[in-house]
Amino acid sequence: MVTHEEPAREVLRTGKVVAFFPLEPATLGHTMIIPREHIPDIWSLDDQTARDLADATLRVARAIRAAVPLDGLNIIQSNGEAATQSVFHLHVHVVPRRTDDAMGPIWPAETHWSEKNKSDAQGRIRAALALGAGEEGSP
């Protein structure tokens, strides 16, 4: 896809990213955006490429809204097998949604995390951020 070796339904190409329809789009207009450089997941992403990817995602989302009928839109980016990442090259799905589409809900109806579990996780995330986690180059 990045090198033009496969037939593609490309909609955008910049110096840093490519946006195209996947072979089996989930809905009409479903577009994937990938960095041209191989990056396996979000934890390997540098800040500049993240900005380029975010800019392309916004441009594509606006174009989809102007071009195809929709009732909503999902932006989906998965990392690791447990999160359903099956292609280990970072990619963002921009998926136009319609009330009657085949995708259905993507979130569980309810979860069973206690308030203590949620507070503990919040505290650990805040502490990690205070120590520099989330900065470019941090593990």
Q: Could you list the mean pLDDT of each consecutive 10-residue stretch along the chain, which spans 139 residues?
A: 62 96 93 95 92 97 96 89 71 94 81 91 90 75
Please tell me whether the overall predicted TM-score, pTM, comes out greater than 0.85 for this model: no
pLDDT of residue 104: 78
- Single out the residue of 139, 41, 117, 47 nearest to residue 131, CA to CA: 139
- Single out the residue of 7, 64, 55, 59 nearest to residue 35, CA to CA: 55
Q: Which 3 state secondary structure label does DSSP give 89? A: coil
* Domain 9-110 fold: HIT family, subunit A (3.30.428)
